[in-house]
Structure formats: C-alpha cells, structure tokens
Amino acid sequence: MARYRKKSAVIEAVQLRWTQWNEVCELLGDALNAENPTGAWEIPASEASDTCGEEGPNYIALHIRTTYGHIETARHGDWLIPEKAPGRFIAVEPRLFAADYEPVEV
C-alpha cells in the first residue's frame, strides 16, 4: 500500500476505486463487514468524486464509520484514511488529498 505525508505525519491511505479494491478491503479490514451497514454499491459517474481514468459505466461507493461514529458515504475516487480508533475512517476528496499529502518514498 502506498504511503503519503501530511506535514510531518506519515499516513496510510488508499483511493476508493475498482482497480484498488483489494487494497481497500485490506485497509478497512473487519470494518468492511462488522461496522459497514450496507456494504459497497455501484454509482454512476456523475456521483463519483473522480473516475480515476477507469471506464464506467458504474463506479463504487460504500459507507464508512467516522471517528465520532457517524456513517459517511465514500465515493469512487475518495481517499480512505484510517483514524486512531479501530474501524473508524475518513474519506477525503481527491483534490483536497492532493493539496495536503504527497507520496513518501519507502
């Protein structure tokens, strides 16, 4: 899984898209089943944050539980970042992620 830096912190993150589904499942771990009330579903390109150059017509969305326990929808192209609390994540739109993070050489 790729690593990214925000200021002085190094985080793990994965972009929600079909070609990275295995990495998404690895990052979400048990939260994909235990804390995700509806699983993943397909959405049209008009609802995706970014198509990431993948051919449609359908893209992916899923619910994630946030730090405060709220359910948020992550859409195709969003970056998923794990929080400190197990099973909690944040979804960041691609343009905001690009503005705040840069790849880290491992």
pLDDT (0 to 100) of residue 2: 87
Cα separation, 46 vs 84, whole angstroms: 32
- Contact status, residue 89 vs residue 81, Cβ threshold 8 Å: yes
pLDDT (0 to 100) of residue 35: 55
How confident is residue 29, by pLDDT bands cut at 50, 70 and 90? confident
Of 7 and 54, the structure prediction assigns the larger pLDDT to 54
Task: For residue 99, give the H/E element and its range.
Answer: helix 94-100
Phi, psi for 75 (deg, rounded to 5): -110, 155
CA dihedral for 11, 15, 19, 20, sign (positive or negative): positive
How confident is residue 97, by pLDDT bands cut at 50, 70 and 90? very high
Quick one: CA torsion of 85, 75, 8, 28, rounded to 10 degrees? 40
pTM summary value: 0.85
The full set of domain ranges for the chain reads: 3-63+78-100
Of 45 and 56, the structure prediction assigns the larger pLDDT to 45
**b or e along 52-75 (b: 16 or more beta carbons within 10 Å of the residue's beta carbon)?**
bebeeeebbbbbbbeeeeeeeebb
pLDDT (0 to 100) of residue 8: 67
Q: Residues 61-93: pLDDT tens digits?
A: 999 998 888 999 999 999 999 998 888 999 999
Q: Residues 31-53: pLDDT tens digits?
A: 877 556 657 899 999 999 999 99
